[in-house]
Amino acid sequence: MGFFDDLVLPEEPATERPVLARLTAPTEDDARYAPPVDRFAPVRLSQLAVAGAGPDTRVLLTGWSVWPRSATLHLAVFRGIRRQGTLANRQSGLRVGLRFSDGRRVTSLDGTVPRHFRFTGPGGEEREAATTQAVGLIPLDPGMHHSHRSLFKTDVDLYLAELPPLGDAQLVVEWPDEGIAETHTPVEVAALHAATSRTIEVWPGLEPPEPTEESRSIATMELGGPPSFLAPPLTPGRLRKRRREEEARQRYVPRADWQRMSPQDWADAALVRARLDGGAPPGDPVGWRGTAPLHLVAEQGAEEAVRELLSRGVAVDVRNEDGHTPLWFAAQSMDEGSVRALIDAGADVWTPQSGPWSPGRLLLTTSLAPLVAGLPNAEELPAGEAAAFRAADALIAAFGTEPLWTDGLGIAFVQGLSEDEVIRRLGADPARCPRVDIEDAPFDPADYEESLRYVSVRGVDGSPGGCAVTQDGYLPHDNELLRAISAGTAAYGVYFNPDGGTFGTLARDGEIVARDEIGLWQHKSDPSAYWHFRFWQRGHAFPHGADILAYCCAAAGLKITDGRAALGLGTPHRWLELPSRLRR
């Protein structure tokens, strides 16, 4: 008689049943996000320790389930008192983490990543879906098993997809809501590694299923879930905010150097002060071509930072390799407070630093002229120079005070020609080029390659006036186009390259006579017009690019009062397709 024979009744052999599901060979995702419970029997390691204690709550480390390359951490939460109402999903809930010997940290707050997976649909078709997947110490769902149900005890299982590296490791627990302070408990890492060799692989050498075997989709669900008292990870938005806050806090940690200071950082007086308090040298060169901190804060128009550096005894007239002093940069930034601070500290106002130009002479051309006009040895701006600035400022004002669209713009100004004449010179029939809005243009503005075949023409009133040829592209600055429209007159084309640099070309009587890269820092060898059109002035009231557009008008010989219409800002234009000889 067999062992169970007296407890059962004989039955017929079971008939063969259809395959409901078949365990297949492991994939690369196996054991990455959950323990491999279908393939291995783990080694259970007991490690009893109080991992955290509060007035009414204890968190105990009870042990580990060790898999071939991963482990499940087992905690038990014991309570002496249960209160009405639950504190669920709070950031001040239970926090659990591990600190590895190599300094890395994994926690139950590490958030989620997108996870993509493939499955077979009802009709046998391959499908793909995505979900959010927890990472770090991954909370597991213990389900509603009896062993997990208790009024005063709750089991918490957290999955670690990689074993800690050999060396000292710490379990860290904190639970502000229950009065449990941050507590560190040593982890027996060597025992975890030793246990991996004793796990049992239940189904070694699994083969892929037969292609003819019917494929089915199986879904199971067990009500329950990880305990709600675990602190949830931050949302991506909150995580970004916390990182920004930490970066901001770190900015003001005192340090004895000027490393990792962006140009805008020199405008932050609190940051400059923190570096100085940490021992950063106040007068040493720190930037390109020998610029010192005082140059850089003056360039940013940061009065408070200027005064802070002056209070540390730095030389007020320290010069960079180009011979420029901080007052030179303060004048260009048009910051009244910085200019006053430097002058009050005895800065040299009138010594030329680039050709005839001194800081004081630059300031005489601006609204800050009263700051220097009454100083000892004050100069007067020559009448011709003052007139040139007034004429340039009038052309700049023709482009208004509202922001201008210039990024990627190509525009050529030509003197004295009508719209019809410019259109004819560009190889088109004026009668077939009516004035229309951009929405009715004969090309798709969203198609960049197609749009490069077209330019617009718009008359510009003035004494003298002329025309503007525009494009969202570079061709109005092209040599062939400028030669075509400049016969018997002058034309100047410019391209605002979105990849960097603004380039201009002057044509006269059908020939190219000059080229510029506009808007760079001025040198004494530069044309006077660069100074008159304020390419040196970094602080100004006119829109970005207005000084360059005004310079282009002047170079072509136009004197206009309304330049915004030439840019197509809300006004119709005449569009024409360029002949092949003028395309690139």
Residues 396, 373 share a domain: no
Q: In this predicted model, which residue has the larger pLDDT, 492 or 248?
A: 492
The CATH number assigned to the domain holding 284 equals 1.25.40.20
Residues 403, 313 share a domain: no
pLDDT at 222: 47
Residues 560, 462 share a domain: yes
Of 73-87, 159-173, 300-314, the least confident: 73-87
Q: Which residues pair with 61 in a beta bridge?
A: 49, 75
Residues 576, 530 share a domain: yes
Angle at 271 between CA 336 and CA 298, to 5 degrees: 25
pLDDT at 149: 63
Please compute the mean of the pLDDT values over residues 526-539 and round it to a whole number. 90
- End-of-domain residue from the set 381, 408, 433: 381
Q: Is residue 339 in a domain?
A: yes
434 pLDDT tier (thresholds 50, 70, 90): very high
Say if residue 147's pLDDT is above 60: no
Residues 279, 412 share a domain: no
d(CA 537, CA 132): 52
Residue given tokens 């669920």 in the structure block:
88
Residues 169, 49 share a domain: yes
Residues 119, 64 share a domain: yes
pLDDT at 571: 78
Say if residue 24's pLDDT is above 90: no
Q: Is residue 233 in a domain?
A: no
d(CA 128, CA 134): 19
Q: Which residues pair with 60 in a beta bridge?
A: 50, 76
Q: What is the pLDDT of residues 165-219, one digit of tens each?
A: 999 999 999 999 999 999 999 999 999 999 999 999 999 888 766 655 554 545 4
pLDDT at 224: 55
Say if residue 146's pLDDT is above 50: no
pLDDT at 73: 97
Please check whether residue 433 is in contact with residue 575, taking contact to mean a CB–CB distance below 8 angstroms. yes
Entry pTM: 0.64
pLDDT at 266: 95
pLDDT at 558: 96
Residue given tokens 């001194």 in the structure block:
358
User: What type of residue sits at position 551?
Assistant: Y
- End-of-domain residue from the set 324, 358, 381: 381
DSSP state of 237: H
Q: What is the mean pLDDT of the chain?
A: 89
Count of domains for the chain: 3
Please check whether residue 25 is in contact with residue 205, taking contact to mean a CB–CB distance below 8 angstroms. no
CA gyration radius, the chain: 38
> What's the length of the chain?
584
Please compute the mean of the pLDDT values over residues 7-15 and round it to a whole number. 81
Percent of the chain with pLDDT over 90: 65
Of 40-49, 180-189, 510-519, the least confident: 510-519
* Structural domain boundaries enclosing 526: 391-582
Residues 403, 368 share a domain: no
d(CA 466, CA 559): 9
Q: Is residue 496 in a domain?
A: yes
Q: What is the pLDDT of residues 219-247, one digit of tens each?
A: 454 445 678 889 888 888 888 888 888 87
Encoded tokens for 147: 């062993």
